[in-house]
Chains A and B, each alone.
Chain A
Amino acid sequence: MREFDLVIPKSLPDALDALAANDVIVQPLAGGTDMIVNIRARVAQPNVLVSLNDIAELREIRRDNGTIVVGGGARIADFLKHPLLIENAEIARQAAFHFANPMIRNLATAAGNLASASPAGDMSPPLLALGAEVALASKAGTRTLPLDQFFISVRKTARRPDEIISALRWQVPPQHTGHAFYKMGLRAADAISVISVAVVIERAGDTIREARLALGAVAPRPMRAYQAEALLNSQKFTDAIVQEAARLASEECSPIDDLRGTASYRRRMVKVYVARMLRQAWERAK
């Protein structure tokens, strides 16, 4: 494997100092499940890796009034095990259950999954549907972006090389909120999505107070289906509106043909599964 130096800071400021060096290629290392693979494939060519794994504050998972704050070092497995996340990130728990396999879940971080910015990244649609924000920390300070603005294109994000995702945040889902996630893979384990659909609905009686709908593997980046959301918000939940929202979502995505499926198949499946997930989320929102 390529030669590199590894620094293992104990504090976030030390890590950000190390990342600010600009004479060599410095890259952050979290779970390593993408980075080590990328180094071996010569996709990543760092001179220095800055490990984020010994920084206690990045492992924090806490509630701050009405906000859930998850440190950038939180593992995928935390979404299956941590009581605060089980209670306040149901849709991310569902996605974590389908994520790769238990060994990868113990190593990989949610922040790293977002930072890799694969259009098919498993944690992106659920966190988009939760309305999450990312905190990007650098030596110059911390800025916060809605997750939707963090994704730019295939494997491109708004993260500068000297920044790391220090935290993910979202509002505690209100009462009467329902979550539904679907991942279509070609097998159960270690699958890369053909499509994925994440729906979070807040319900008020027979009316949709707010719906957030996110799609994976059907656009250059994980996306919110804003047209479908706009149609649904503040409307009565009916068969007709579900069908129309599903149709809009299948039109506003822009899938491609690849070895896992064709663009037209993906569009049709978006239509089918957006409708199903809307109904599931609605039922669960009671």
Chain B
Amino acid sequence: MNKKTIHLKLNGEPREWSVFPNELLLNVIREQEMLTGAKYGCGIGECGACSVIVNDQVALSCLTLAIAVEGAEITTVEGLVKADGELDPVQAAFLDYTAYQCGYCTPAMIVVARTLLDENPQPTEMQVREYMRGNLCRCTGYASIVRAVLAAAEKEKHLAH
């Protein structure tokens, strides 16, 4: 097994990674880049804790081989903060609505909610629940999570005007 060098953008920054064929995207993000927002949860695609954005689409980084993201643009929860430190409206809403308990699922929840609002800026509550159905919260804090996402959408509607 030989390492291969790939190039990509991570949170807007160009990156060069040297990775083994069997390395998972999640492990490189966490252990090489030391960005620990994305989490290992179930490893079989049911919990969503490892969700990151790959080329504008949500993907599961624990089921994605690192080599496969050659040339991609990847965004993790850490990349949603603006350069001046201002939080993304979804992040701010999670704080405002205390949409977390233990916090393990939170980074992925925020990343997936961000993608939802980019695709559908004014979702209904049902659409939020549908879109985030693959992100499990073992503290079962879903009500406040959904409220936070809807509040972020509402806030962005006003920002847009």
Name the residue of chain B whose CB is nearest to the CB of A105.
B134
Nearest Cβ in chain B — how far from A16, in angstroms?
20
Instruction: Collect the chain B residues with CB atoms within 8 Å of residue A33's CB.
Output: 45, 60, 63
- Chain A residues with Cβ below 8 Å from B43 are 37, 40
**Which B residues from 7 to 22 make CB contacts under 8 A with A?**
20-22
Q: Which of A95-103, A169-177, A232-240 contacts B (4 or more CB under 8 A)?
A: A95-103
**Cβ–Cβ < 8 Å partners of B45 in chain A:** 33, 37, 100, 103-104, 190
* Contact indicator A104/B134 (Cβ below 8 Å): yes
Chain A residues contacting B70 (CB-CB under 8 Å) are: 8
CA distance A37 to B51 in the complex (A): 16
A–B Cβ pairs within 8 angstroms, 14 of them: A1-B24, A3-B20, A3-B22, A6-B22, A8-B70, A29-B65, A32-B63, A37-B45, A37-B63, A104-B60, A106-B59, A107-B59, A107-B60, A107-B63
Report A187-229 residues with CB < 8 Å from chain B CB: 188-190
Interface bits A1-20 vs B (CB < 8 Å: 1, else 0): 11111101000000000000
Instruction: Find out whether the CB atom of B59 lies under 8 angstroms from the CB atom of A49.
Output: no
CB–CB A37/B44 < 8 A: yes
Contact B46 A190 (CB under 8 A): yes
Q: How far is the CA of A32 from the CA of B67 in the complex (A)?
A: 13
Q: Is the interface of B mostly helix, strand, loop or mixed?
A: loop
Q: Does B138 contact A (CB under 8 A)?
A: no
Q: Closest 6 interchain pairs by CB?
A: A101-B134, A189-B133, A6-B21, A106-B57, A36-B63, A190-B46
| B90 in contact (CB, < 8 A) | no
A residues near B60, Cβ cutoff 8 Å: 33, 103-104, 107
The answer to the question of B58 belonging to the interface, with a C-beta cut-off of 8 Å to chain A, is yes
Interface size on B, residues (CB 8 A): 28
Asked, given contacts A101-B133, A106-B58, whether A4 binds B22 with beta carbons under 8 Å apart, the answer is yes
Q: Within 8 Å CB of A103, what residues of B?
A: 45, 48, 51, 58-60, 112, 134
Q: Is A157 an interface residue (CB 8 A)?
A: no
Q: Does B83 contact A (CB under 8 A)?
A: no
A residues in contact (CB < 8 Å) with B: 1-6, 8, 29, 32-33, 36-37, 39-40, 49, 51, 53, 77, 100-104, 106-107, 188-190
Within 8 A of A (CB), among B45-80: 45-46, 48, 51, 57-60, 62-65, 67-68, 70
Distance A94 CA – B33 CA, assembled complex (angstroms): 40
Contact B133 A188 (CB under 8 A): yes
A52 to B134, CA, bound (A): 25
Cβ contact within 8 Å between B21 and A4: yes
A190 touches B134 (CB 8 A): yes
**Cα(A212)–Cα(B68), bound, Å:** 39
Output the least CB separation between B42 and chain A (Å). 10
Provide the residues of chain B in CB contact with A8, threshold 8 Å: 67-68, 70
Contact status A107-B64, CB under 8 Å: yes
A49 to B1, CA, bound (A): 12
For B1, list chain A residues within 8 Å (CB): 3-5
Contacts A32-B65, A103-B48 hold; do A49 and B21 have CB atoms under 8 A apart? yes
Given A33-B63, A53-B68, A107-B60 in contact, is the A102-B134 Cβ separation under 8 Å?
A: yes
- 6 more CB-based (< 8 A) A-B contacts, given A106-B57, A189-B133: A5-B2, A32-B63, A37-B63, A53-B68, A103-B58, A103-B112
Question: How far is A139 from B75 in the complex, measured between Cα atoms in Å?
Answer: 39
Distance to closest chain B CB from A234 (angstroms): 40
Q: How far is the CA of A40 from the CA of B44 in the complex (A)?
A: 9
The smallest beta-carbon distance between A249 and chain B, in angstroms, is 30
User: What is the CA–CA distance of A37 and B131 in the complex, to the nearest angstrom?
Assistant: 23
Residues of B within 8 A of A101 (CB): 48, 133-135
Cβ of B118 to closest chain A Cβ, rounded Å: 13
Q: A37-B45, A107-B60 are in contact. Are A189 and B67 (CB under 8 A)?
A: no
- Closest A residue to B22 by beta carbon equals A1
B112–A102 CB distance below 8 A: yes
Closest Cβ–Cβ distance, residue B107 to chain A (whole Å): 14
Q: Given the complex of chains A and B, what is the CA–CA distance between A188 and B142 in angstroms?
A: 14
Quick check: A5 and B134 within 8 Å, CB to CB? no
**Chain A residue, CB-CB nearest to B115:** A102
